């Protein structure tokens, strides 16, 4: 049933102890307008999980429909440790230092506000520190539905 709920696709990134970490996510949503809060869910065994908890700051890059390769790279378990960002172009966020990918249709930088237990995942709530929506604004987001990447019609 959950696979029948279409979601957007994004990458969460952080820097912990000078090392970059990033992971594709599709469990991401807004939580509150005042204060401005969002959340994402991270599997507890993922490398990104402990890195985000340690760093306290992270970025979200919302992916466009032409970024399946970027999404697949960061969804791959056991990526090489010496090339964690896979050569994908990015800029460092001014507030977190985390990678914000050049291809993104929008990005946010967040500071961890709360972490809740969610079974084999943690629910990480972040206070939004900055939002970017690079031009052009007519790019469409990448979607995930029934185990496949999808596009808006």
CATH number at residue 66: 2.30.110.10
Q: What is the Cα–Cα distance from 113 to 52, expressed in whole angstroms?
A: 12
- Per-residue pLDDT tens digits for 91-126: 999 999 999 999 999 999 999 999 999 999 999 999
Q: For the chain, what is the domain count?
A: 1
Give the three-class secondary structure for 119.
Answer: coil
| Residue ranges making up the domain that contains 50 | 2-150
- Per-residue pLDDT tens digits for 35-78: 999 999 999 999 999 999 999 999 999 999 999 999 999 998 87
């Amino acid at each position: 049933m959950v696979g029948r709920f279409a979601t957007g696709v994004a990458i969460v990134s952080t820097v912990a102890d000078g090392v970059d970490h990033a992971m594709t996510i599709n469990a991401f949503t807004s939580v509150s307008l005042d204060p401005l809060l969002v959340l994402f869910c991270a599997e507890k065994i993922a490398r990104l999980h402990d890195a985000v908890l340690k760093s306290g700051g992270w970025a979200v890059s919302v992916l466009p429909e032409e970024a399946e390769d970027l999404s697949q790279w960061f969804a791959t378990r056991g990526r090489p440790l010496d090339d964690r960002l896979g050569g994908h172009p990015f800029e460092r966020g001014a507030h977190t230092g985390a990678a914000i990918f050049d291809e993104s249709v929008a990005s946010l930088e967040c500071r961890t506000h709360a972490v809740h237990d969610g079974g084999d995942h943690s629910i990480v709530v972040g206070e939004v520190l900055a939002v970017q929506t690079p031009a052009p604004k007519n790019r469409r987001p990448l979607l995930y539905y029934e185990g496949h990447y999808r596009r808006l019609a």
